[in-house]
Structure 1
């Protein structure tokens, strides 16, 4: 089944051309057959009328000789037309050397007659006392018809393929505006929902472009409202959460040694979790809201080093090993966005990895960032779901389920790609988050100064 409009139209045109060619060839063959029959009958009649006087003269010159005579040819040859001359009693007076009397029925009336194998024409003279019958094998007519049909079909064998190629090129050229329209949509950035330009667009495509532009405008409004709501909600929650946390901490200090202290500490832990969740929601809203790429490029190495040092001071129980290339890694990704991406990947490794082994953070000169930790193996069918918001693996560690979703959203917006492996290549356990294509392809590739 053809799913391509171009292939479908080309196939329909090709089939139509082939059918029309077949109909034209069939009609031409029928006309040729009729013309061959008409011309052959005319040739039979004219030949008979020319031979009759010669045959009569030859018979009279023999002084009424009764023996049957055959006209000897100059050399042996096959006759296309054979004839026989008879008197009124049916006796053969004269015949061509290849004539077979069995194919000439007796007592034929003047005019045309057809048998199963031959076409015959009879002419009478001398008041009907002498008749000449000339015969042509129908096989010869059939052979001539086949040769005529081949003469018609042979050009079609060339014309039809050329027509198919021409139909394909015509359809391809006619559908070029649609391909350009689709390529323009595909070349857009992940968050580019601006209206499509209609300059040079054919009239048949303009309604589609208008519908797509209308759809993108409605989608842009919906996404903007959703992101605004998420960001504003998370931002507005920060102040009351901070106030509630301060009051809870004061309550803990005032209830030392009482049963209320434990309950207040539980409330404090819940508020810390809520504060982290609101922070992650703000990060997610920014990651999905665009502005991930900046106009100028910057070296990612100092940004990553600063993030690792900051996390290392806060998470002293985990060892972080950072590997940076000697060559600068230039990228157009916004520094704050890259810091958020790296922080989420490292915090995810700390939260779900084992503290007995160091967490390895590596940035390559080709723009690949990898964060690897030891720990339980994550099932393959669950890896792809971990980049979805609020999706968590089988773990008892605290978390919101947003860290990998934030990192993936930033990576996609920057034109990079986040892939997850468990276990990492060369390891028997653990987890690796790998971000590729962070480096700007047009940036300077020489060593940093």
Structure 2
């Protein structure tokens, strides 16, 4: 399955941001924990050094007045975070804070820090080593401070990460906007538009791709132009010799002394007429594939349609044609000559493959929809989808070039319209209908009256 470059970049950057955020949070927590321990140890040491002189004065004063009091009473009831004891050289407790628990303080502790299972203890000596002051802090207080610090870091990461992810998505989407615009310009182009693509707004990394696409389209344009020129020139060059051969054949028919010779000459004449028709169709196909099917200004389609219909009505083999036209102009940017080719091919198709002598209904609607409907044997559904291919014929035994519907489909696509085929014809038990929708209608009032001609 194809993967989105935008999604891949955004996912990779988001994953990187998440990993970096977690790593930064872990590093921050490690630094905060180290700082909490350092500041707490410094507070213990500062407290001990400030209490030691006061404790020495208290003990010396007590010796002077003979007091035995050892526990210092609190000014008001409260829980002590830091507790302390004062011991003499033998380990006897001389003084302690009111919440002090002697089991917390290790015996015979030298000056400095020591950690127990529950407390962090700092010892300081005084009076020439005859007195030791020990200050203890519960380790759970430090752990509680560390948890609060971790939660603060976690909240900061939790707030930053969604904003960072949204920013990454916005940056990636904005950065790839020229690429999407470039792809859109390719997707919205007509099938015959092979002009170079604009690469001015593309990033430097995408410029080689644009150059490669432009080079490919240039080569394709040259190949298609050469193919169209060969087709058009070959068909054009064949017209004169075919016409000359046809004239000589007709003269041969008139001068032939025997019936068998005249019959053979008529067969040659039929083959030359078929070859002339194929040559004409190839010229029409070359024009359709050239893409020049739009006029600079909108024009009314009704006069073109009337002119083609009149040509068919003057033909000796033309069957009854019913024409339904709107009262108001039907303006379209399709080239009049291209529209005439469409009309002629669809009516020829109806004449050649429809029921002999059956009516042919030709309708041009105010909304720019053109349709040709004829009676005849219904065409199978799977055959309908192949009829717009070149040299594709249906199940009819009538001879034809197999190019008429392919020419109509090519011109319709070049004009921004669509050709749809239906069999049986809508509302009929049999028949065939070709409908062209969306002939780039520009303006015109929607009339209701219609002209029906026979």
What is the CA deviation profile of residues 155-191 of structure 1, one whole-angstrom value per residue up to 9, with x for unaligned ones? 4444444444444554555555545555555565543
2:270 corresponds in structure 1 to 269
Aligned to 1:378: 380
What is the 5 A alignment of 1:121-270?
Answer: 121-126=122-127, 128=129, 130-179=131-180, 181-182=182-183, 184-185=185-186, 188-196=189-197, 207-252=208-253, 258-260=259-261, 262-270=263-271
Other-structure match for 2:50: 50
Q: Distance in 2 between matches of 1:97 and 1:320?
A: 120
Partner of 1:337: 338
Displacement, 1:280? 1.0
Deviation at 1:60, TM superposition (A): 5.4
For structure 2, which runs of at least 5 residues remain unmatched after alignment?
449-454
- The aligned residue for residue 77 of structure 2 is 75
TM-score, length-scaled by structure 1: 0.82
Corresponding residue number in structure 2 for 1:38: 38
Query: Is contact 1:2-1:8 (8 Å) kept?
Result: no
1:116 offset after TM fit, Å?
A: 3.7
* 1:401 equivalent in structure 2: 402
Cα distance change of structure 1 residues 128 and 426 upon mapping to structure 2, 3 Å threshold: farther
**Contact 1:420–1:433 under 8 Å retained in 2:** yes
Q: Secondary structure in 1 aligned to 2:287?
A: helix
Query: Do the aligned residues in 2 keep the contact of 1:71 with 1:95 (CA within 8 Å)?
Result: no
Map 1:350-365; keep pairs closer than 5 Å. 350-355=351-356, 358-365=359-366
Distance across 1 between alignment mates of 2:314 and 2:407? 23
Equivalent position SS for 2:410? helix
Over the aligned positions, Cα root-mean-square deviation in angstroms equals 3.8
Aligned match of 2:324: 323
State the 1:266 CA deviation.
Answer: 4.0
CA 1:177–1:85: 2 relative to 1, 3 Å? same
For the 8 Å contact 2:366–2:447, the answer to whether it is kept is no
Q: Distance in 1 between matches of 2:417 and 2:209?
A: 31
Contact 2:298–2:332, Cα closer than 8 Å, also in 1: yes
* SS in structure 2 at match of 1:404: helix
How far off its partner does 1:127 sit? Answer: 5.2
Deviates more, 1:354-363 or 1:334-343: 354-363
Residue aligned with 1:418, SS: strand
Q: Larger deviation: 106-115 or 56-65? A: 56-65
Pair 156,420 (structure 1): closer, same or farther in 2 beyond 3 Å: farther
Instruction: Tell me, yes or no, if the aligned pair for 2:87 and 2:95 is still in contact at 8 Å.
Output: yes
Aligned counterpart, 2:111: 110
Give, in whole Å, the separation in 2 of the partners of 1:253 and 1:116: 129
Report SS of the residue matched to 1:122.
strand
| Equivalent in the alignment of 1:284 | 285
Distance 1:132 1:393, change over 3 A: farther
Deviations 1:9-36 (A, max 9, x none): 4554444444444443333332222211
Distance in 2 of aligned mates of 1:348 and 1:138: 98
Deviation string for 1:35-80 (max 9, x for gaps)? Answer: 1111111111112233344445545555677787474461344x33
TM-score, structure 2 as length reference: 0.81
Q: Which deviates further from its counterpart, 59-68 or 295-304?
A: 59-68
| Map of 1:24 onto structure 2 | 24
Name the SS for the 2:305 alignment partner. Answer: helix
Report the counterpart of residue 293 of structure 1 in structure 2. 294
In the alignment, is the contact (CA less than 8 A) between 2:86 and 2:96 conserved in 1? Answer: yes
Residues 220-229 or 92-101, more deviating: 92-101
Q: CA deviation at 1:125?
A: 3.8
* SS of alignment partner, residue 324 of structure 1: strand
Describe the shift of the 1:363–1:118 C-alpha distance in structure 2 as closer, same or farther (beyond 3 A). farther
Q: 1:402 offset after TM fit, Å?
A: 1.3
- CA shift at 1:343, angstroms? 2.0
